[in-house]
Amino acid sequence: MPRMTSRPTRNSNAAHRQREKRYNRNDGCGTDGPPTGEGRMAEKVAHLENMTTLKMKNLGQIKEANLTFGDLTVLVGPQATGKSIALQLLKLMVDAGQVQEEMGRHGLDWDQKLPEFLDIYFGEGMRSIWREGSTSIEWEGNPVDLPQMARRRRPNKEETLFFIPAQRVLALRDGWPRPFTDYAPGDPFAVREFSENLRVLVEQEFGPSGDLFPQQRRLKRELRDLLQKHVFSNFHLKVDKFRSQKRLVLGAEEAKEALPYMVWSAGQREFVPLLLGFYWLMPPTRTPTRGRIKWVVLEELEMGLHPRAIGVVLLLVFELVARGYRVCLSTHSPQVLDAAWALKHLKANGAGPEALLDIFEAQNTQSMQKLADTVMEKLVKVFYFDRETGTTNDISDLDPTAEQEGASGWGGLAEFSGRANRAVARAAATGQPELFK
């Protein structure tokens, strides 16, 4: 009985690759040539050093969560399993001073009490996530005293984590970003701050009129082309005025008539705040990142978008990762895990950057190759928030053959497909498949 064996994998450090090139330097400034044994060791050490841990016990729906963040971290799991709480907590861990400063600056006062602080930061009613005596948090291996954090103001520092919340569609009203104080006191801090950042971006970095998209100095040409094709069609995103009120509109390049916010498609309404978020993170300067921002949280990038548009957003996420940001996503889209799975296997098989670009139907230009090449070297972590146990599982292997159903079904994202496959196969096995007629 002949048995095929698995095709031997090529050396993941194939000599023709130039993976040591630093993405954010001009060509020629980076370290050219294949990684040496020493280089590979340094790479591994760098990955380990880059790992950051957050542990939570008895926080909201979470009984116990252990997260180790990579360069790109993906959280999956059913609704209300604590993904958003974990991501907002991450923001608090890295930006406590900035959060307190922002809240104070906009007239929010929590009387140095933790319940009030939680209601302001996570949103109204969220004080219940903290259970005195049983809730505990550990950041980078050190216990965190959240009640003390609420009592004592941390020294202010610049923002290091940019949070793009799932509720980002609320950031625009009548086509213009809402200021922080436009929200109710019980609205989550992440939504209000994101909205405020967009307002600053639109008011300070763009002229009183003209195109916000496409813009030559914003995003790579190849990414702009894909966005034009899969999100905006032939429309441009512009600033115009309606009875002296500035607003964002969509309009064809030559057309006089513009489409106001209320007639945009649901996907466009979801995407425009996201695009502005990407603009914020990718300033049109030689510096690849903004200010001191090191982290990006992006909740549910897929909202309202067709899978082709999701593909483009994933490329934009890769661009953030390649620029050096550490990106954390939460998602309900199997496409995101397909991409993470492909990254892992392409890397393991020593595939070139063109293989990754091919998945996204992206142009195989030098610039995009450099982007893909950089991303393929990054560490990707995937965690599943399990509703049944209230715990998190590291499913970074994304092994479709894993013993645990949560792992093989990719945290529930592929389980439905699996059941559909089985039902159809059983029906077909007893029916008359075309092949055998």
Partner 1 sequence: MTFKKAVGATDHLANAWRPGLQALRANDRNHVSAEDTRRLKGSVDIDGALQAQHPHANRWDFAIGYRHSNRQQDCIYWLEIHTANDEETEVVLRKLAWLQQWLASEGRPLKDFECDFIWVSSGSTSFTLTAPQVKRFAELGLQQRGRVLRIRDKR
Q: Which is nearer to partner 1, 52 or 331 (CB)?
A: 331
Smallest distance, Å, CB 4 to partner 1? 4
Q: Is 44 an interacting residue with respect to partner 1 (CB under 8 A)?
A: no
The piece of 121-129, 167-175, 323-331, 333-341 that touches partner 1 (CB under 8 A) is 333-341
Q: Which is nearer to partner 1, 207 or 436 (CB)?
A: 436
Q: Which is nearer to partner 1, 239 or 382 (CB)?
A: 382
- Stretch 374-433 residues interacting with partner 1 (CB under 8 A): 400-403, 408-410, 414-415, 417-418, 420-422, 424-426, 428-431, 433
Smallest distance, Å, CB 406 to partner 1? 13
Q: Is 48 an interacting residue with respect to partner 1 (CB under 8 A)?
A: no
Site for partner 1 (CB under 8 A): which residue of 5, 26, 204, 366? 5
Contacts 24+ apart (CB under 8 A), 89-92: 89/54, 89/56, 89/59, 89/137, 90/54, 90/161, 90/295, 90/297, 90/328, 91/161, 91/163, 91/190, 91/295, 91/297, 92/121, 92/149
Ramachandran region, residue 157 (left: φ > 0; alpha: ψ -120 to 50; beta: rest): beta
Compute CA 304 distance to the chain's CA centroid, rounded to the nearest angstrom. 15
Q: Is 1 an interacting residue with respect to partner 1 (CB under 8 A)?
A: yes
Number of residues located near partner 1, criterion CB under 8 A: 35
The piece of 4-12, 19-27, 165-173, 243-251 that touches partner 1 (CB under 8 A) is 4-12
**What does each C-alpha distance from 216 to 221, 272, 290 come to in angstroms?**
7, 17, 18
Rounded Cα–Cα distance for residues 69 and 53 (Å): 6
Helical H runs in 170-294? Answer: 189-205, 221-227, 266-281
| Contact between 21 and 30 (Cβ < 8 Å) | yes
Site for partner 1 (CB under 8 A): which residue of 59, 338, 361, 375? 338
The candidate with the shortest Cα–Cα distance to 135, out of 215, 50, 55, 23, is 55
Smallest distance, Å, CB 309 to partner 1? 18
Smallest distance, Å, CB 30 to partner 1? 32
Smallest distance, Å, CB 352 to partner 1? 18
Q: Which is nearer to partner 1, 262 or 435 (CB)?
A: 435
Q: Cis (ω within 30 of 0) for the bond into 208? A: no
Rounded Cα–Cα distance for residues 154 and 391 (Å): 30
Smallest distance, Å, CB 84 to partner 1? 25
Q: Which is nearer to partner 1, 4 or 184 (CB)?
A: 4
- C-alpha angle 194/196/202, rounded to 5°? 105
Q: Which is nearer to partner 1, 227 or 339 (CB)?
A: 339
- Stretch 247-266 residues interacting with partner 1 (CB under 8 A): none
- Stretch 344-363 residues interacting with partner 1 (CB under 8 A): 345
Length of the chain: 437
Q: Which is nearer to partner 1, 4 or 262 (CB)?
A: 4
Rounded Cα–Cα distance for residues 190 and 121 (Å): 8
Q: Which is nearer to partner 1, 103 or 305 (CB)?
A: 305
| Contact between 268 and 276 (Cβ < 8 Å) | no
Which is it for strands 142-144 and 235-242: parallel, antiparallel or unpaired? unpaired
Site for partner 1 (CB under 8 A): which residue of 56, 96, 334, 374? 334
Rounded Cα–Cα distance for residues 186 and 119 (Å): 6
Smallest distance, Å, CB 375 to partner 1? 20
432 contacts: CB under 8 Å, gap ≥ 6 = none
Query: Any idea what DSSP says for residue 360?
Result: T
* Residues at the site binding partner 1, with contacts judged by CB under 8 A: 1, 3-7, 334, 338, 341, 345, 400-403, 408-410, 414-415, 417-418, 420-422, 424-426, 428-431, 433-436
